[in-house]
Amino acid sequence: MSNLSKYIISLFVVLISISVHAQEDELVLSVAIEKALENNYGIVISKSDVAIASINNNWGTAGRIPTLGFNAVSANSQELNDKLKTNRISGDITLNWTLFNGFKVNITKEKLEKLENLAKGRSAVVVESAIQDVTMSYYNILLQKNRLDVLNKVMVLSKDRYEYEQTKYDIGGSVTYNVLLAKNIYLDDKASFLNQEVVVRNAIRNMNFLLGEDASKEWIFTEEFSSETYEYILGDLMDKMMASNQTLQNQYVNLLLQQDEIGLQKSTLYPRVSLSAGINNTYSWVKPDAQPELYTEALTPSANLSLTYDIFSAGNRKRAIEIARINEEITQIETDEIKHSLSNQLYNEYEVYNLRKVLLEVSNESLEAAEMNLQIADEKFKSGVINSFNYRDIQLSYLNSALTQLQSIYNLIYSNTTLTRLTGGFLNE
């Protein structure tokens, strides 16, 4: 190959590399969360639900505002025996207004306001879930990337060992068995490394789905893979949860809605007063056989006030009120159940968090010792103090310690985000 060809190929490779990196944007966790809040499918749908509830929350839906209608009719007929032709055109405008129906309008308006708040609360739960999912997805990518680095380090060591054994074999200082053993170990480590590359790419695609981005979008992840430790106080966490947990707040709204339902059923016990007013304009044309045409026109205004009351409804109204009260009791029991469930979950997560803090400290110390042991083992193996099996055992010990330490960091991050969500911290922030 000529020097010019080599130069062109090198330039082409450089241009491709620049193009690939130009498509990669830096991504910090806060920006990832912002993208999810804008593009996440579940959040977009929940915003639409809130918009619908907001549109419904008005006095017109509740029945406070009167309705106005227009009606026009053209009636034509012909009597076959007398050959009498008739045409009548009429139009009327009617206003209907319910003046009183047992406070149903006010109760309905309050219910619509609560339904809007409930829609916002449910949307907030979706937002919380999206924030936690994006956070853990982001750190899962960092976890998998760090695992990839560890596997790469072990693979490089195995490759060096294989090349070392091959060199010793070439000069007569080793046997075929040792070379083949080192080669198999290197190939196993390489396979693990390649599989982990796929895991990293899948993790990025999963996060792109949460962000509403294209699956092929590449990012440069700039956050540090570490977890801050906090000294939580269980009593403070419990108070925050009872005051700010969004699932519990939504259940309180459900309880208020059931109380409004009781009021709506009670409103049927009152009479209903309504007003109707309108004006009618009628134009008639009659053509008798062999007689002059007759024209008439009438303009008729009207106003009516009506009072209606169901004296007896076979006990349906009473039963509806009793059912509404039972539903309120059920909702109250469900509220108590949610409180109990959340309290148990908080206790469990609090203990798990404290345990994982200790486990992270232990894994840090274990990794530090494993790294030092690996460095010493590499020197001893090359000097012939330990054999291949001992060296491989130390490699595996380092690998396990490194992966355990990375998983401990991830587990602590997960516990912290869970406690934050339980106490309503995401929405407060």
Whether 286 contacts 150, CB under 8 Å: no
Give domain 67-100+272-308's CATH architecture: Single Sheet (2.20)
Region 363-367: mean pLDDT is 93
Residue 191 has pLDDT above 90, yes or no: yes
pLDDT of residue 101: 87
In the chain, what percentage of residues exceed pLDDT 90?
56
The pTM assigned to this predicted structure is 0.80
Among left, alpha and beta (phi > 0; psi -120 to 50; other), residue 214 is beta
The fold of 27-57+104-141+190-270+313-428 is Outer membrane efflux proteins (OEP) (1.20.1600)
pLDDT digits (tens, 9 = 90+) for 273-287: 999 999 988 888 777
Amino acid at 339: K
pLDDT of residue 9: 46
CATH 2.20.130 occupies which residues in the chain? 67-100+272-308
Residue 428 has pLDDT above 90, yes or no: no
315 Cβ contact list (under 8 Å, min separation 6):
none
C-alpha closest to that of 160 among 149, 172, 152, 148? 152
CATH 1.20.1600.10 occupies which residues in the chain? 27-57+104-141+190-270+313-428
**Residues facing 76 on adjacent strands:** 87
Residue 4 has pLDDT above 50, yes or no: no
Whether 110 contacts 259, CB under 8 Å: no
Segments in 272-387 forming alpha helices (H)? 316-383
Residue 403 has pLDDT above 80, yes or no: yes
Q: Go through the chain and tell me how many residues it has.
A: 429
